[in-house]
């Protein structure tokens, strides 16, 4: 379970998160939508402790992420994250990209790590790209590799930050299909997305962010059919 309690976060004078409260249960898929600059990416990077917070707290399975005593490297093993920008390790093959963390972080043998990596890469349709370097992959393949790389650590939670935003339109589908598959497998996910049909079809709940505030959260039917807030309706009519 991820519990976000009254989290505030500023970059200098700019308050980016203004008291966010959100609880995500095991097996739940929560989509986060909202205009650019509303704090969606920042929230994700706070959840795995890449960014510090100013006040409030975030608990992952009861462990407080920003507590001084928390071993972040240990905690991050169970939180996978995939970013909007491509972030393959360019000097490593696809297979090495995926085996790196299991070997270095979990101390797995090369063989065990490769077995898991091949399995994850096959799962996202990259079984034929093992020995290839990332620069030979399309954007969609790079994002699927990043997903496999995160999954190879067997995380309990997956955070996705607009993973299709940098893709050519014809490549968006293959990545969304991968996310759907993951959701069907019961993965707990927070997906920041601009793909409204994905948010509607796949998530249990949809959260709408506006200027650092979670203005509205509810089941997709509510957000897309009967939004309570004017801002939500304005945003949805602007993206349709």
Partner 1 sequence: MFETSLSFNDILFLIRGAGVTLSITILAVVGGTLLGLLFGVLRSHVSPWLTLPLVFVLDIFRSVPLLIQLILANAFQAIAGLQLSPFVTSCVVLALYTSAYCTEIVRGAIDAVPVVTRRAARSLGLSWGQDMTQIVFPMALRVALPSWIGLTLGVMKDSALVLWLGIIELLRASQILVTRLQEPMFILLITGAIYFALSFPIARLGGRLEKRWQEND
**Residues within the interface to ligand ADP (CB under 6 A):** 11, 14, 16, 34, 36-42
Which of 41, 143, 188, 193 is in the footprint of Mg ion by CB under 5 A? 41
Give CB contacts under 8 A, 24+ apart, made by 119-125: 120/148, 120/149, 120/151, 120/152, 121/94, 121/95, 121/145, 121/148, 123/148, 123/151, 123/181, 124/148, 124/178, 125/174, 125/178
Task: Work out what residue 16 binds among Mg ion, ligand ADP, partner 1, none; the CB cut-off runs from 5 to 8 Å by kind.
Answer: ligand ADP
Q: How far is the CB of 64 from partner 1 (least distance, A)?
A: 18
Beta bridge partners of 191: 31, 160
Q: How far is the CB of 22 from ligand ADP (least distance, A)?
A: 14
Of 40-48, 57-65, 88-96, 211-219, the segment contacting Mg ion by CB under 5 A is 40-48
Phi, psi of 122 (to 5 degrees): -65, -40
C-beta of 165 vs 222, nearer to Mg ion: 165
Q: How far is the CB of 34 from ligand ADP (least distance, A)?
A: 6
Of 26-34, 39-47, 54-62, 179-187, the segment contacting Mg ion by CB under 5 A is 39-47
C-beta of 87 vs 204, nearer to partner 1: 87
C-beta of 14 vs 74, nearer to Mg ion: 14
Task: Work out what residue 90 binds among Mg ion, ligand ADP, partner 1, none; the CB cut-off runs from 5 to 8 Å by kind.
Answer: partner 1
**Tokens 């890469």, located at residue:** 121
C-beta of 83 vs 204, nearer to partner 1: 83
**Cα-based distances in Å from 44 to 17, 47, 172, 186, 209:** 11, 5, 21, 20, 13
Q: Where do runs of H (alpha helix) occur along 9-107?
A: 40-47, 72-75, 94-104
CB 147 within 8 A of CB 83: no
C-beta of 35 vs 56, nearer to Mg ion: 35
Give the residue from 16, 77, 78 showing the smallest Cα distance to 46.
16
CB atoms within 10 A of CB 35: 16
Q: How far is the CB of 44 from ligand ADP (least distance, A)?
A: 8
Task: Work out what residue 205 binds among partner 1, ligand ADP, Mg ion, none; the CB cut-off runs from 5 to 8 Å by kind.
Answer: none
Q: How far is the CB of 230 from partner 1 (least distance, A)?
A: 34
The secondary element (H helix, E strand) that includes residue 3 is: strand 2-11
C-beta of 145 vs 215, nearer to partner 1: 145
């Amino acid at each position: 379970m991820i519990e976000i309690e009254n989290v505030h976060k500023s970059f200098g004078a700019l308050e980016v998160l203004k008291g966010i409260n959100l609880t995500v249960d095991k097996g739940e898929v929560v989509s986060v939508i909202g205009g650019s600059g509303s704090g969606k990416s920042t929230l994700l990077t706070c959840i795995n402790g890449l960014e510090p917070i100013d006040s409030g707290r975030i608990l992952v399975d009861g462990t407080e992420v920003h507590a001084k005593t928390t071993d972040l490297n240990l905690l991050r093993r169970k939180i996978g994250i995939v970013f909007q920008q491509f972030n393959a390790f360019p000097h490593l093959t696809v297979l090495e990209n995926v085996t790196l963390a299991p070997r270095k972080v979990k101390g797995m043998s090369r063989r065990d790590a490769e077995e898991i990596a091949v399995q994850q890469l096959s799962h996202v349709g990259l079984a034929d790209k093992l020995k290839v370097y990332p620069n030979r992959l399309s954007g969609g393949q790079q994002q699927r590799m990043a997903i496999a790389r995160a999954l190879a650590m067997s995380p309990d939670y997956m955070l996705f930050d607009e993973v299709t935003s940098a893709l050519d339109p014809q490549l968006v589908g293959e990545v969304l299909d991968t996310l759907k598959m993951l959701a069907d497998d019961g993965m707990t996910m927070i997906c920041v997305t601009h793909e409204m049909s994905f948010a509607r079809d796949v998530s249990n709940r949809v959260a709408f962010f506006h200027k650092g505030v979670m203005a509205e959260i509810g089941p997709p039917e509510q957000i897309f059919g009967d939004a309570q807030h004017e801002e939500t309706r304005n945003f949805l009519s602007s993206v349709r």
